[in-house]
Structure 1
Amino acid sequence: MKKKYLSVALVIALAGSMLTTSCIGNFALTNKLLAWNKTISNKFVNELVFFAFWIIPVYEVSALADVLVFNTIEFWSGNNPVACGKKVIDGQDGRYLVECDGKGYTITSENDNSVVRLDFDAADDSWSVRVNEGESYKLMTFIDDSHVKMITPDGSMQVVELSQSGVWAYQQTATQAAFAMK
């Protein structure tokens, strides 16, 4: 009798585990972005980059791209195109070429040939975003070991001290501006 209950319990547990699994994907683009941010040696710069990418909305766009495009491709094909260095991605609204060259990232739409580029400029220690080979907008510039210039929601640059209080002050500025926009 006990063997029968054990067998039934085992079958129910296995069936239950099959019902609770899901294929949500590995969020490769978002995880690569977060992993890159963690490579920055200063924790205060990590926090500033996080807020800059939240304001611009880089994190939101990467998560949305993962949910709608890359994780779906991974579900059906078994591999995520972002996990590689250069891939063509077929989305619902067209095809995109994503390239990483070690200095930044280029995303090209094959529909209209629009291009978005994220670049690191070693000459002035800054990260910038550029759209369609047009004007480049700096996101962040390293000033010295304890200060950076960060983009604010209104597009101006603010000097931020790389300390807990400096990052907290920048966070408050970004949060207040985000709520003011709503």
Structure 2
Amino acid sequence: MRKKTLKLASVAMISMLLMNSCLGSFTLFNKYSSWNQRATKNKFLNEVIFILTSPVYVIAGVADVLLFNTIEFWSGSNPLASNVGKTKKVMGEDGRYYAVKTLKDGYEITKPDGGVVLFVYDKAEDSWSQVEDGKRTEIFRFNADGTIKATLPNGNQMDVSLNDQGVHEVRMAVNGGTYWAMR
């Protein structure tokens, strides 16, 4: 009787772990797949690598299902998904490249001329700010009703919804009611 109860409890515990609706991001599997797709510039060689390393996909998938997606479900973040400390080069609208480094609480952007701008998230205030030359300026904060309180360049603030209409309202407020469109 005791062995039967122990087996039943074990099966129930394993079932809870596997069936807790934790469809996660499958970060380990996807990272390995992305690497495999760009391992070389030859798609045929990449296919050979895929065939030879296919057991890695199984191991990565099982690790994601049993461990990493479960952690992501219960904690809200996947330990493998962190990009903290990584830097990417991003082309700006001006055609120049900027270095964007991911921080624990935001981003550090290094301009082509060497200047640095920080975009920082304040969890306590639920807001994003810009820090440049030691001066901190709040960009926006989230409101409890799902809107945001945007801080305009002139210091005024306005509540806007997070949709096309809200973006249009902020754009009109920043540009003094003038909106240019080009073809």
Common fold, TM-score beyond 0.5?
Answer: no
Q: TM-score, normalised by structure 1?
A: 0.38
Which protein has the bigger helix share? Answer: 1
Bigger radius of gyration among the two? 2
Q: TM-score, normalised by structure 2?
A: 0.38
